[in-house]
Structure 1
Amino acid sequence: MNIASAALVFLAHCLLLHRCMGSEAGGVFDHGRHGVSLVRVEAPSRCGGGTPSSPPGADTPPPKPLLVAAPREAGEYPVLVFLHGYLVVNSFYSQLLQHVASHGFIVVAPQLYTISGADATEEINAAAAVIGWLAGGGLSSALPPGVRADATKVSVSGHSRGGKVAFALALGHAKLAIPLAALVAVDPVDGMGMGRQTPPPILTGRSGALRVSAPAMVIGTGLGELPRGPLLPPCAPRGVSHAAFCDEMDPASAPACHLVARDYGHTDMMDDDTPGARGMLTRAICRSGGARAPMRRFVGGATVAFLKRWVGGDGAALDGIRARPEQAPVALSVVEFLGDEAMAQIA
């Protein structure tokens, strides 16, 4: 083989590798190959409040009402627990949950409360109770025939205050029945500002202070820190939003990733239709980038890529996002990898 032929073969190999990496990264932003079942699982009605203490088991109802998205095809799948934002309902994320589930995950979204005050302690305890229920095999009756939950691989994700609760779980604010496999925080918020945090405060104001127990991804929004109007506060105030969470993560404790969607707002990963008064508020209070579908595809795809890497052991999609962030369905202002990943950042 002469030099010219060798060069052509090498170039073809590089193009094929580049195409494969690109398609792998881009594929997570589309609906996956699995059909998805979406079901509600009711919790027993209680007059007293608090978190039930019944030992978990296959016949035990969940401690909180659940919305469960699962692949329809028989098999065993890892689990993601998704925690909703402040004063909204889990069904507002049904399209996002189905996107993740279509790539081979069981997504469990508890309704942590109907009305809540500033203190998130009960939410943290309730989320821990749901994870304990999952670890005890409680989910089996809610899944399609032949579908099994791998209770040894449970990750946690949360949006807004749910992201704060997810961090609290990874920081040991509640005792968990099993270790977390991964953490994904979607535009997390820790109150109205540094010094005005909701209890228990998560952020400390010190860089590298948060030693989380699992690989962590923080997804931020470029518009979340901006107010919708002159009389409204921002939905994700600067100093207690995604950038602060990322800055305070200690990459020596676990690998970390930070992605920011430049032109989208705090609630733009929710469903296209969020009915009722609460649904109207998700559009009226927070600044928005417009159509929600691109942001929802991005959050779902980034979550899938991260879970595939740290739960499934397949880093191709996450490497593809890092190598070619322009494939994402939204413009990214930050692409940052810490820990055992190389760091890359774009402005």
Structure 2
Amino acid sequence: MPSSSFTTTASDVFETGKYKAALRRVEASATQPPSSSSCAPADPPPKPLLIAFPAEDAGEFPVLVFLHGYLLYNSFYSQLIRHVSSHGFVVVAPQLYTVAGPDTTDEINSAAATTNWLPRGLADLLPPQVRPNLAKLAVAGHSRGGKAAFALALGKSTTPLALPFSALLGIDPVDGMDKGKQTPPPVLTYVPRSFDLDMPVMVVGSGLGEIRKNPLFPACAPRGVNHADFFAECRPPVCYFVAEKYGHLDMLDDETEGLRGKATYCLCKNGRAREPMRRFVGGVVVAFLRAHLEGDDVGLMGLRDDGHKVAPVELQKVEFLL
């Protein structure tokens, strides 16, 4: 059996898992230095990567591709992806861009290219005893990255996917500024249960995301283009969680450095602290991946039945369509 196989409960997903998770940064092919070195990957990825993986245990582990939010750095999710990895997953977080306009086409195609690179290069970047299982592959994204994840799963990339995804996760996904002001290419159709997705889906929302921080800035997850609208278009099987008193960026690291890092505290309505929301998001991601990649649904069904009791945040909504 793979070393990641063990039973998950409804509460232990919110705690650090049994694996010691490590992080590795990898430069993209276009950013490699002119002179090659022994530590440079033989087949560098199309985009810079932050990879979280179980560092010390031997085994075969499922893989999650995680797409960052608008104008955010993948490093801002270090604590979140390490939490997920500590439960027996390899998490690959590409830096899709550093500057971008409203059109998401390039980042969707970059996410597709990164996914297609995984069979060629991922194993070489991991310890020899850590084997990525690309037959168990999921995609997740936060904010605009959530939109990109849905777009990728819906086949909207012009770069054809060489690998199929087995599960899709939207972490407070956002499809623009407002209904009728979606960023191209639009994902939401406003037709209930219209997403033609041959995979299970989880949508996680923030209760404060649709509230403005102040009158000078729009809400970070506006009504009409946020998690509620994505959930409304998902067909079963889909599960839906909304954390009531937490904001759109509250799953980021406690410390996000630089100008962009400081801006994450200023632009969106926030909860009292990031740690509870980050632990909640990490936990539901683990439970969902366990259920749909590993066949262990004990944790996910436990959250359906007792999520209000065991979650580290107050839940505004828990809904499952099976």
Alignment TM-score > 0.5, same fold: yes
Q: Which residue of 2 aligns with 1:170?
A: 153
Q: Distance in 2 between matches of 1:46 and 1:288?
A: 35
Q: 1:283 aligns with which of 262, 265, 271?
A: 265
| Equivalent-residue separation in structure 1 for 2:178 and 2:291 (angstroms) | 33
Aligned with residue 198 of structure 2, among 213, 216, 219: 213
Q: What are the superposed Cα offsets for residues 106-165 of structure 1, whole Å, 9 maximum, x if unpaired?
A: 00000000101110001111101111111x231112112311101111100000000000
Q: 2:251 maps to what in 1?
A: 269
Within 1, Cα distance between the matches of 2:257 and 2:42? 33
Who is 2:87 aligned against?
Answer: 103
1:284 aligns to what SS in structure 2?
A: coil
Q: Which amino acid aligns with 1:246?
A: F
State the distance in 1 between where 2:91 and 2:290 align: 14
Kept in 2, the 8 Å contact 1:167–1:212? The answer is: no
Q: CA deviation at 1:213?
A: 2.8
The answer to whether the Cα contact below 8 Å between 1:112 and 1:123 also exists between their aligned partners in 2 is yes
Match of 1:29 in 2: 14
For the 8 Å contact 1:224–1:234, the answer to whether it is kept is yes
Aligned 8 A contact 2:276 2:312 in 1: yes
Following the alignment from structure 2 to structure 1, what is the Cα–Cα distance between the partners of residues 272 and 128?
39
1:203 is matched with 188
Mapping of residues 84-233 of structure 1, within 5 Å: 84-134=68-118, 136-174=119-157, 175-233=160-218
1:206 to partner: Cα distance: 1.6
Alignment partner of 1:59 out of 28, 42, 48:
42
Check the 8 A contact 1:182/1:215 in 2, yes or no: yes
Q: CA deviation at 1:337?
A: 0.5
Aligned CA RMSD, in angstroms, stands at: 1.4
Q: Once structures 1 and 2 are overlaid, which stretch shifts more, 79-88 or 140-149?
A: 140-149
Partner of 1:296: 278
Shift of 1:91: 0.1
Q: Percent same amino acid at aligned positions?
A: 57
Aligned counterparts of 2:272 and 2:116: Cα–Cα separation in 1 = 38
SS in 2 for 1:245: helix
Q: Quick check: 2:9–2:298 contact (8 Å CA) kept in 1?
A: yes
Secondary structure, counterpart of 1:25 in structure 2:
coil
Instruction: Provide the C-alpha distance between the structure 2 equivalents of 1:103 and 1:336, rounded to a whole number of angstroms.
Output: 24
CA contact (8 A) 1:37 1:144 kept: no
Amino acid at match of 1:61: P
* TM-score, reference length from structure 2: 0.92
Q: Cα deviation per residue 1:207-260 (whole Å; 9 max; x = unaligned)? A: 112122311000000000000012221000001000000011122xxx101100
Q: How much has 1:286 moved relative to structure 2? A: 0.3
Q: Does 1:68 align with 2:51?
A: yes
Distance in 2 separating the partners of 1:102 and 1:205: 37
| Cα shift at 1:46 | 6.1
Query: What's the offset of the Cα at 1:179?
Result: 1.1
Counterpart for residue 38 of structure 2: none
The separation in 2 between residues aligned to 1:337 and 1:211, in whole angstroms, is 18
SS of 1:335's equivalent in the other structure is strand
Instruction: Look up the equivalent residue of 2:184 and give its one-letter code.
Output: P
* Counterpart residue number, 2:242: 260
CA distance in structure 2 between the partners assigned to 1:111 and 1:285 by the alignment: 21
User: For 2:100, what is the secondary structure of its paired residue?
Assistant: coil
